[in-house]
Amino acid sequence: MLDMFSGLDFWVGASLVLALTFVLAFEFINGFHDTANAVATVIYTKAMPPHLAVVFSGIFNFLGVLLGGVGVAYAIVHLLPVELLINVDTGRGLAMVFAMLAAAITWNLGTWYFGIPASSSHTLIGSILGVGLANALLTDAPLAGGVNWGKAIDIGLSLVASPIAGFAVAAGIFLALKRKWPASKMHKTPDQRRALDNKKHPPFWNRLVLVLSAMGVSFVHGSNDGQKGIGLIMLVLIGIVPAQFVLDTHSTTYQIDRTRDAAVHLRDFYVRNQQTLADFIPTAPSQAIDLPPAFRCDPALTNATINALVRDLQGVSNYNDLAPAKRVDVRRYLLCLDDTAKRVGALNVLDARERADLSRLRVDLAATTEYAPLWVIVAVALALGIGTMVGWRRVVLTVGEKIGKQGMTYAQGMSAQVTAVVAIGLANVFALPVSTTHVLSSGVAGTMIANRTGLQGNTVRNILLAWVLTLPASMLLAAGLFALATQFTG
């Protein structure tokens, strides 16, 4: 870990430390801003003591980050257009990272202060979109190319659909519990349980489900939201110290061979489909021209890019054997080939078998670029876990008492939490970032409507307002900060 500072100028090293601190601060704030939702019901229903709940939640967040992979991390990274990702110099990389993080942290702290369960996911995504669009304006590039709109639409749909699904599914589960066990003690609020039964805790089985589902929410939150911090740190490392992090230097010889073989098979794929794809990739492999000095992603240069990649990886068994500049080139080739392959797959001119082959080739191409060192994963996990133990009270009170017109019952808490575990878990399977805040709060609201207790207008209005404003506000703030920062970084 510390060897990444060797040979760096003092100001670059200091900037790297500051940037990493910003990312971990964002994850720390995410811990008490978003993860509070994971323990809100279990604390409010007194299924677990608060401090025990947040400690266990922190542990499960840690495990979620550790075991969750990096699919969501790179879904976030690839919101930025490939041209920006392959041409980030140190100055612009710093401006980009600090603008995104400063905007996200500012909005998160503001909504947390007022106890509003706003989404850190929306905030971060809005910040990334703002930086991408601002970069397009500053470089006279078309706005349509300022952001990877295909990925943005996929993520946007997941962020919109998940709370709607959370509302409906949680309401359905609650109604099923109400119909099956209408007289059960699970339909009491903690205050009613204390007043009528002189009991402080929920009934045993309800308590067990509340505890297990709360830890499940913590785990899937860590594996989804924690990956966003991993993606940010990788952006920092690649932008500031590219020589060490553009490729996974711990890749085995087999992994490097698989990457090179994927490029060869990709060339064969384009040969097979040359006539079908002639309008998109006009240059045949036998006619491939050399790459221009100023490298850019261009479908017309696809075969030249494949040839350059195969040539540079020929005989390479260890990425450390490549010169730093050559590692940067290899990453550029891989990102561009993957980007073009993704566009080809979306053309709907290929049959299902060919699209499946292309999808597998993309996985192999990304095998040594989409990674994260263990210390990055552990650092993010610790930041999330520690953040969980701070500042959770504001959001717990909002979720437990201020969404509905009466306090939350045990059945409502179970319904909302089980729904959140399933929804976020499925999102992780498909590498889609979703909002724990939105899913859980919507689930609670769904159970309140299903229970005919109604919603508190002021709280719901504030939550909806924060949800609506989060994306445009974070976009504008990040864009403004990025434009300002680029004035100082040149």
- For residue range 261-273, list pLDDT tens digits in order: 999 999 999 888 8
Closest CA relative to residue 266, chosen from 330, 368, 318, 334 = 334
Rg of the chain in Å (alpha carbons): 24
Mean pLDDT, to the nearest integer, of 373-401? Answer: 73
How far is residue 366's CA from residue 364's CA, in Å, rounded to a whole number? 5
* pLDDT (0 to 100) of residue 406: 62
* pLDDT (0 to 100) of residue 444: 82
* pLDDT (0 to 100) of residue 379: 92
Judge contact between 436 and 379, C-beta under 8 A. no
158-167, 216-225, 348-357, 447-456: which has the minimum mean pLDDT? 447-456
Question: What are the structure tokens assigned to 232, written together?
Answer: 């940010």
Judge contact between 291 and 274, C-beta under 8 A. no
* pLDDT (0 to 100) of residue 400: 47
pLDDT of 251 > 90? The answer is yes
Mean pLDDT, to the nearest integer, of 451-477? Answer: 72
Three-state DSSP at 390 gives coil
pLDDT of 462 > 70? The answer is no
* pLDDT (0 to 100) of residue 454: 61
| DSSP alpha helix (H) spans, 350-435 | 352-365, 374-388, 393-397, 410-429
Mean pLDDT, to the nearest integer, of 74-100? Answer: 73
| DSSP alpha helix (H) spans, 87-148 | 90-113, 120-138
463-471: long-range contacts, CB 8 A cutoff, minimum separation 24 = 463/116, 463/117, 463/118, 463/403, 466/111, 466/116, 466/117, 466/118, 467/118, 467/119, 467/122, 467/438, 470/107, 470/111, 470/118, 470/119, 470/122, 470/123, 470/126, 471/122, 471/125, 471/126, 471/129
- CA atoms within 13 A of residue 423's CA, in its CB half-sphere: 30
- Helices 374-388 and 10-33 pack at an angle, to 10 degrees, of 40
Confidence of residue 91 (pLDDT cuts 50, 70, 90): low
* pLDDT (0 to 100) of residue 280: 78
Question: What are the structure tokens assigned to 125, written together?
Answer: 């995504």
* pLDDT (0 to 100) of residue 404: 47
Closest CA relative to residue 420, chosen from 384, 447, 454, 387 = 447
12-16, 30-34, 408-412: which has the minimum mean pLDDT? 30-34
User: Does residue 187 or residue 8 have the better pLDDT?
Assistant: 187
Q: How many CB atoms lie within 10 A of CB 468?
A: 11
Q: Which residues contact 268 (CB under 8 A, 6 or more apart)?
A: none
Question: What are the structure tokens assigned to 216, written together?
Answer: 């499940």
* pLDDT (0 to 100) of residue 237: 85
pTM for the model = 0.80
138-152, 234-248, 433-447: which has the minimum mean pLDDT? 138-152
DSSP state for residue 455 in the 8-state scheme = B
Three-state DSSP at 398 gives helix
pLDDT in tens, 294-331: 667 788 888 888 988 999 999 999 999 999 888 988 99
How far is residue 386's CA from residue 395's CA, in Å, rounded to a whole number? 16
Q: Which residues contact 93 (CB under 8 A, 6 or more apart)?
A: 235, 236, 238, 239, 240
pLDDT in tens, 48-76: 887 788 788 888 888 888 888 888 888 87
Length of the chain: 490
Question: Which range scores top for mean pLDDT: 129-133, 236-240, 368-372, 484-488?
Answer: 368-372
Amino acid 313 reads L
* pLDDT (0 to 100) of residue 343: 85
CA distances 348 to 168, 205, 277, 355, Å, are: 33, 51, 11, 9
Q: Which residues contact 7 (CB under 8 A, 6 or more apart)?
A: none
pLDDT of 376 > 80? The answer is yes
pLDDT of 145 > 70? The answer is no
On average, the pLDDT of the chain sits at 81
Q: For residue 71, count CB atoms less than 10 angstroms from its CB and return exposed for 0-12, middle for 13-18, buried for 19 or more.
A: middle
pLDDT of 44 > 70? The answer is yes
How far is residue 388's CA from residue 378's CA, in Å, rounded to a whole number? 15
pLDDT in tens, 169-224: 999 999 999 888 888 888 888 888 888 888 888 888 888 999 999 899 889 888 88
Three-state DSSP at 299 gives helix
* pLDDT (0 to 100) of residue 325: 86
